[in-house]
Amino acid sequence: MHDALIKPLPGNNMAACLAESWRESEDGLTYEFQLREGLTFHNGDPFTAEDVQFSFLRYRGTSAKLLHERVKAVEVIDAHRVRFVLHAPWPDFLTFYATPATGAAWIVPKKYQERVGEDGFKRHPVGLGPYRFERFDPGVELVIEANEHYWWKTPSIKQTNHLQGSAGAPDPPGDAEDGGGGHRVPDDRGRSDCRQRGPEAAARVGHAAGSLVLGVPRAMGCQIPLA
């Protein structure tokens, strides 16, 4: 749902995303990011340097203390340029700021967040990523839909449902040829059948009629209806 100034993309562990370029000063004290222009959040708000500044100051994740201690200021130069000023040279700044090690460079919309508040943002998050929030039923499912205006490329899948394994009932007896021990996840739309499985079981399932079975990390097997 969200996107970052810099993040790993295929073939590049630190690829330009919302920042189309950046440069470090010779003394190692400042990092200036040139932002991609013409981007809008899922709610239509324009993406600007103020969102970058706001997202950094709001960040309270795993490395917040370290980042906030070492970054002296985040300066908005203009609508599409932002400068991070450090107290002292920190060669690992981008490793901490701009990778999934912290997630600090992931951007949220300042105006929307201030308008709806923390609870409102959690109920309906808005971002700049390839998928936009549709609905979240805690304990049951998260549904996201393709953002056809995503800057990098249009997503291939229109809707993605993340079903929580706890929503499923145990497999019926005698249905353990795929490795067993899985949980059937109900699909009230009848468009897919998806079970929680061990990775070995998911690999053995292979292709099923009309569906593509993916092996994904964290003991999951799922099917994409092709029709």
Partner 1 sequence: MVGMLITGLGLDATAQSTPKGQLTIAFDTSIASTYLDPAETTGIATPFVFL
CB 226 to partner 1: min, Å? 7
Q: Are 58 and 79 in contact (CB under 8 A)?
A: no
Determine the interface stretch with partner 1 among 38-46, 66-74, 136-144, 171-179 (rule: CB under 8 A). 136-144
Spatial distance between the Cα atoms of 46 and 48, rounded to a whole number of angstroms? 6
| 191 lies in the binding site for partner 1 (CB under 8 A) | yes
Query: How many amino acids of this chain bind partner 1 (CB under 8 A)?
Result: 64
Handedness of CA 203, 205, 209, 214 (dihedral sign): negative
Q: Tell me the C-alpha distance between 27 and 65, whole Å.
A: 23
Taking contact as CB under 8 A, which single stretch among the options 21-29, 34-42, 53-61, 87-95 is the one that binds partner 1? 53-61
- Rounded CA separation 69/104 (Å): 14
What b/e string do you get for 106-122 counting C-beta neighbours within 10 Å, with b at 16 or more? Answer: bbbbbbbbeebeeeebe
Q: Tell whether residue 158 is a contact of partner 1 (CB under 8 A).
A: yes
Of the candidate residues 12, 159, 203, 210, the single one contacting partner 1 (CB under 8 A) = 159
**Of the candidates 52, 82, 107, 201, which one interacts with partner 1 according to CB under 8 A?**
107
With binding defined as CB under 8 A, does residue 86 bind partner 1?
A: no
- Is 53 a binding residue for partner 1 by CB under 8 A? The answer is no
Residue 26: Cβ-neighbour burial (10 angstroms; 0-12, 13-18, 19+): exposed
- Closest separation in Å from C-beta 25 to partner 1: 26
Q: Is the dihedral of CA 98, 4, 38, 150 positive or negative?
A: positive
For residue 93, how many other CB atoms are within 10 A of its CB?
A: 17
Task: Determine if 30 is a binding residue for partner 1 (CB under 8 A).
Answer: no
Tell whether residue 165 is a contact of partner 1 (CB under 8 A).
yes
Question: What are the residues binding partner 1 (CB under 8 A)?
Answer: 1-2, 4, 55, 58-63, 100-104, 106-108, 121-123, 125, 127, 129, 133, 136, 138-139, 142, 146, 148, 153-166, 168, 183, 185, 187, 191-192, 194-196, 216, 218-226
